[in-house]
Structure 1
Amino acid sequence: MNSLPKPLPLMPKPLQITVYQDVLCAWSYLADSRLDVLRQEFRDIVRFRVRPFPLRVNDVLPTDKERRALVKEVERAQEELDPAARLITPELWKGSDAPRSSVPALAALEAARLQGPTARALLARAMQRAALEQGVNVTRNDVIFELASRVGLSMNAFAAAFASPQTRQLVMDEHRLAAGRGVRGVPTLVIGGRWMVCGLREVSEYREHILACLGKLHLPKAGETERLFH
């Protein structure tokens, strides 16, 4: 009698990594480029979940002091060795059309997410390039709709989702929940519920944390899930 075939081993669940970001943040833009390397390396082993964390929540123009600080942050980011760092510019915060709040742009990304993660990613990259490489205020409705159309979104569905008060409320709720968990700025990664990695890091450091967490995922655990914050 033929024996029954052995069941295939179960594949472990992908490691969940939550990435908090703001499309107006140069550091988030550089982090995206570095994380793209790891997305290619780890593929289905790791699942990245990008969530909004607006650095400018209130709908008010930045003061001159805030503008100077924002310009200095971009200039610091320009000193990084990434190819993308040579493309970014602080012009967004120098001109007369500086963003008031990050919320409209992040709400647009949540509206795009309803058409799939690829749609959201395409719009996010288009917004980052427009804002951080060309100095365009991507929080304006006309710019948002132009970019959404350019990346091929279904505009009727996008417009309805973007206009919904629930979409902006979702961004605010995400900000509140993240702040309650200790997120203070972007980029911030929460890796497998164990490591909170704040600020831009080298690819090797991101990789080290991911590998360490993957190793812990495959060990038997008792009781509550361990939470470590870095």
Structure 2
Amino acid sequence: MLEIKFFHDVLCPFCFVATRRLLNVAKDYKDQVIVRHKSFMMISSLDDLKEIAPTVEDAREVFKNEFSILKKYIPDYDPDKVISKGKIGYVWSLPPQMACKAAEFQKGDEGHWLYYSKAQEKFFLEGEDITSDDVLIGIAEEVGLDIERFKKDFKSKKAKLAVIEDEEEAHAMGIRGVPAIVVNDKWLIRGVQSEDYYRQVIEDLLKNGEPKKIELKTYWEQ
């Protein structure tokens, strides 16, 4: 059995790509691989965003540049179309990350992944403000959560602490950016990788217990 800790942020375009690739691979190893979802905030406060984007229009330009990254992976993706909906402005990481934790409280790591994936679709494909209470509650409804419980949890101290604890774990491992994957609390994979690469890593570690065919480094070596 392999345990994969997947550190990510709803606002991260590279995580958007990595999530879908890892999901496609992990579903073929349901009885052999456990994916644990870990929060990592790219924009940890609105003040940080406002320092580089004094106006809402400036903020939209920042996110337009971030969204443009997806054109490398999705040829027909149009960031202008998404941003032009005008719903994205001062968006930061903590609210959607706490909402993902609230989903996790109800349905474990699978619930976290389902909610997180839907939140990213709302953000990157539909241009929704995923710091909005209405949007976050709407996602909870779409993925079948107990709404009353979600409303209590997604702004709770418990959810905020869970996000902070994930970040502290990442920092202790020397992780400073996402996506980042740690396998069996040892082997670190940074950035976006192909589905084939993820499969090779899983097969190699399942068969040999350590990397024999794929070159991997421990998190303390990086």
Under TM normalisation by the shorter chain, which class is it?
0.7 to 0.9
Provide the TM-score with structure 1 as the length reference: 0.79
1:111 counterpart SS class = helix
Trace 1:136-147 onto structure 2 (pairs within 5 A): 136-147=128-139
Distance 1:176 1:161, change over 3 A: same
Partner of 1:110: 101
Deviates further, 59-68 or 41-50: 59-68
Aligned length: 208
Paired AA for residue 25 in structure 1: C
Alignment pair present for 1:71 and 2:67: no
Q: In 1, Cα distance between the equivalents of 2:171 and 2:78?
A: 28
Provide the TM-score with structure 2 as the length reference: 0.81
Report which of the two structures shows the higher radius of gyration computed on alpha carbons: 1
Confirm or deny: 8 A CA contact 1:71 1:93 kept in the other structure.
no
Partner of 2:41: 54
Q: 1:36-95, CA deviations, whole angstroms, 9 ceiling, x for partnerless residues?
A: 2211322211111111111111133443377655433321222115xxx64573645994
Specify which of 10, 21, 38 is matched with residue 8 of structure 2: 21
Distance 1:119 1:192, change over 3 A: closer
Alignment pair present for 1:183 and 2:175: yes
Confirm or deny: 8 A CA contact 2:59 2:90 kept in the other structure.
no
1:56 counterpart SS class = coil
* Aligned-residue identity in percent: 25
User: For the aligned residues, what is the CA RMSD?
Assistant: 2.7
Paired AA for residue 38 in structure 1: V
Confirm or deny: 8 A CA contact 2:83 2:127 kept in the other structure.
yes
2:167 counterpart SS class = helix
Distance 1:131 1:36, change over 3 A: same
Structure 1 residue runs of 5 or longer lacking an equivalent are 1-13, 220-226
How far the C-alpha of 1:145 sits from its partner, in A, is: 1.2
Structure 2 residue runs of 5 or longer lacking an equivalent are 212-216
Confirm or deny: 8 A CA contact 2:97 2:163 kept in the other structure.
yes
Partner of 1:224: none
How far the C-alpha of 1:121 sits from its partner, in A, is: 2.8
